[in-house]
């Protein structure tokens, strides 16, 4: 029986995303219009999207 243990990853916040180029997506915090904003950037091709899921 495959039971879900308490230590199983549930809603992990350390989820990794990868760009279509194969590079890893890194989250960056930038200041824009005096507001803090988080963007996702591919560390390989430097593509920037609003959220990691936009790289798919
Ligand atoms: Zn990329």
Neighbours of ion ligand 1 (CB under 5 A): 19, 21, 23, 42, 44-45, 47
What residue ranges in the chain does DSSP mark as E strands? 25-32, 35-42, 48-49
CA of 2 to the centre of ligand 1 (A): 36
- Scan for tokens 């279509």, then name that residue: 20
Question: What is the phi-psi region of residue 46: left when phi exceeds 0, alpha when psi lies from -120 to 50, beta otherwise?
Answer: left
- The Cα–Cα gap between 10 and 34 comes to 34
Residue 9 falls within a domain, yes or no?
A: no
Residue 16 falls within a domain, yes or no?
A: no
Mean pLDDT on 9-38: 86
Quote the domain boundaries for residue 38: 25-55
In the predicted model, is pLDDT for residue 53 greater than 60?
Answer: yes
- Which residues does residue 49 pair with via DSSP β-bridges, in sequence order? 40
In the predicted model, is pLDDT for residue 27 greater than 90?
Answer: yes
Q: What domain count does the chain have?
A: 1
Residue 51 falls within a domain, yes or no?
A: yes
CA of 1 to the centre of ligand 1 (A): 40
Residue 48 falls within a domain, yes or no?
A: yes
- The Cα–Cα gap between 56 and 26 comes to 14
pTM summary value = 0.66
Residue 35 falls within a domain, yes or no?
A: yes
- Scan for tokens 């590079």, then name that residue: 23
CA of 34 to the centre of ligand 1 (A): 28
């Amino acid at each position: 029986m495959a039971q879900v243990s308490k230590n199983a990853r549930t809603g992990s916040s350390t989820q990794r995303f990868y760009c279509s180029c194969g590079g890893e997506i890194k989250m960056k915090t930038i200041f824009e219009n005096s507001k803090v904003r988080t963007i996702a950037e591919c560390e390989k091709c430097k593509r920037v999207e609003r959220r990691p899921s936009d790289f798919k």
